[in-house]
Amino acid sequence: MTSANRPPTAREIATAALGRDPGPLEAVHSLSHRVYVGGDVVVKLTDRHTRLDHEIALSPQLPHGITAPLLASGRRDGVRYACYERVPGASPGAHLPHTDAATARTLAVQAVERLDRLHAWTPGPGAAELLRQPFTSGAFTGREALREEIDRLRAADRDGVVSRRILTGLIAIADRAPEHAGTDVPVHADCFWDNWLADGDTVTALLDFEWARFGEPADDWFFLIRFSGPHAALVLDVVAEATGTPADVLRADCEVREASHVVADVRLSLENDPEAGVGTIAGLEELIIGRYWWRDSKA
C-alpha cells in the first residue's frame, strides 16, 4: 500500500504540521481516539465516530487561550486526524487522585475562571451553528425529557435490577427539576478533570471540545464538581462562591444533571447487554440511596 492510499501515521501528520521531524511520539490512553504526544505536538486519530469533526471545526473559533491551538486537521482513507500544539502540563486526572486540598482549590478557582470566559463568549454565526447541533449525550434538557428517560429505563429493565426505591428517587428528582433547561450559553459539557491540563498548580488548557454545545453553566459545574473525588465539597464551595449561587441550589442543579447522565447510561447498558448493565447500577445507588449531592449538606 502506498502512502497515497493508506491511513496517515501520527508521525507523518506531525511532521507535515510542524515542517520538521517531531521527535519521539508517545501513545497515551484515550477511550475514543488514538492519541500521540510529542515534545511540541499532540496528534489525535479516529475512525470510530464524527465527534472529532465538531471539535476541529469549533477550535479555531473559541476564545483565545481557552484550549490548545489547532495546527492541522484532515481526513484520509477513513481516518480523521487533528494535530494540536503541545501545551505545558498534564491532566490532574479524574477525581484528582494525586492532588492535595490546597492545590485542588487553586486549580478549581482557575478552572471556574476559564469556564466563565467560555460561558461569557458570544459565538459568531459559524460557531453558533456548531453549538446548536443536537447530541445524544444524556444531557439534561428538561423535566419531561428526564421523566421519559426514566420510563425508558424501566422498560429496559426486564429483570428488575433497578429497585423500586431507586425509581422512586429518580422520579422525585425529575418532579423537582426545572421544566426546561436553558440553551443560550456555550458550555464544554465534558469538563471533568481528565480534560484539563495543569502545570503544577497552574491550569494551562481545557481540552476535548467534542461535546461542546449551548446549555447552562450548571452543565459544566456538574462535571467539574462531580469528578473532583475527595475534594468535591471543596470544589462545590469554590463554584458557589465564584458564581454567587447558593450551595443547595448548586447541589440540586448538579443532582438533576447526574440523574440524566446516569439514567441514560444504565438504560443503554441494559438495552445492549443486560448482564453488563447490572454493573452500572452502582451509580444510581450512590446518587439515590447514598444521596451523593446531599450527604455533606444540612438539607
Residues near 268 by beta carbon (within 8 Å), at least 6 away in sequence: none
C-alpha cell at 42: 499532540
Distances (CA, A) of 47 to 58, 98, 134, 190, 273: 19, 33, 21, 21, 24
What is d(CA 238, CA 105) in angstroms, rounded to the nearest whole number? Answer: 7
Q: For 82, phi and psi rounded to 5 degrees?
A: -140, 140
What is d(CA 118, CA 29) in angstroms, rounded to the nearest whole number? Answer: 27
Q: Where are the alpha helices (DSSP H) in 208-279?
A: 217-226, 232-243, 247-272, 274-278
Residue 134 banded pLDDT, cuts 50, 70, 90? confident
Taking 90 as the threshold, does the pLDDT of residue 218 lie above it? yes
What is d(CA 46, CA 38) in angstroms, rounded to the nearest whole number? Answer: 18
The answer to whether the CB of 140 falls within 8 A of the CB of 256 is yes
pTM summary value: 0.94
Q: For 91, phi and psi rounded to 5 degrees?
A: -70, 135
Name the residue among 81, 77, 95 with its Cα closest to residue 1.
Answer: 77
How high does pLDDT run on average in the chain? 93
The answer to whether the CB of 233 falls within 8 A of the CB of 132 is no
User: What is residue 226's predicted lDDT score, i.e. its pLDDT?
Assistant: 98
Burial class (CB in 10 A: 0-12, 13-18, 19+), 275: exposed
The answer to whether the CB of 106 falls within 8 A of the CB of 98 is no
Crossing angle of helices 247-272 and 143-156, rounded to 10°: 30
The answer to whether the CB of 50 falls within 8 A of the CB of 32 is no
Residue 137 banded pLDDT, cuts 50, 70, 90? confident
Find the mean pLDDT for residues 57-78.
Answer: 94
What is d(CA 201, CA 91) in angstroms, rounded to the nearest whole number? Answer: 11
Q: What is the pLDDT of residues 100-124, one digit of tens each?
A: 999 999 999 999 999 999 999 999 9
Considering only residues 269 and 48, tell me which one the structure prediction assigns the higher pLDDT: 269
| Least confident range of 41-50, 171-180, 186-195 | 41-50
User: What is residue 274's predicted lDDT score, i.e. its pLDDT?
Assistant: 67
